[in-house]
Amino acid sequence: MLESINILNSFILKNPLVFTLLIVWLIAWKGVALWNAARLSQKKWFIVLLIVNTLGILEIIYIFAVAKKYKVTTEEIKSEDK
């Protein structure tokens, strides 16, 4: 296992741009998926998306397959001017 960590560390040091792009990719997809889950009040999905790290795969599936089935409904409250 220590050898795997050394290989990963070596890759990151040799390719910082690839590593940075991977981190940006992960944060972007996770952010959009978490935002959709929160907006749709799907607590279970929010928790799963927050905890499970699948390199963006689960987040992409959620955004394009699950979240598209639901719509956010908002009620407009009109106040009367006195």
Element (H, E) at 43: helix 43-51
The three-point CA angle 39-22-27 to 5° equals 20
**pTM assigned to the model:** 0.69
Tokens of 5: 């960590």
Give pLDDT, residue 44: 95
Nearest CA to 59 out of 32, 22, 24 is that of 32
Phi, psi dihedrals of residue 9, rounded to the nearest 5°: -60, -40
The number of C-alpha atoms within 13 Å of 77 and in the hemisphere containing its C-beta is 1
Q: What is the mean pLDDT of residues 21-36?
A: 94
Q: What is the mean pLDDT of residues 67-80?
A: 61
Tell me the pLDDT tens digit for each residue of 11-24. 889 999 999 999 99
Q: Where are the domains of the chain?
A: 17-69
Q: What is the mean pLDDT of residues 14-43?
A: 94
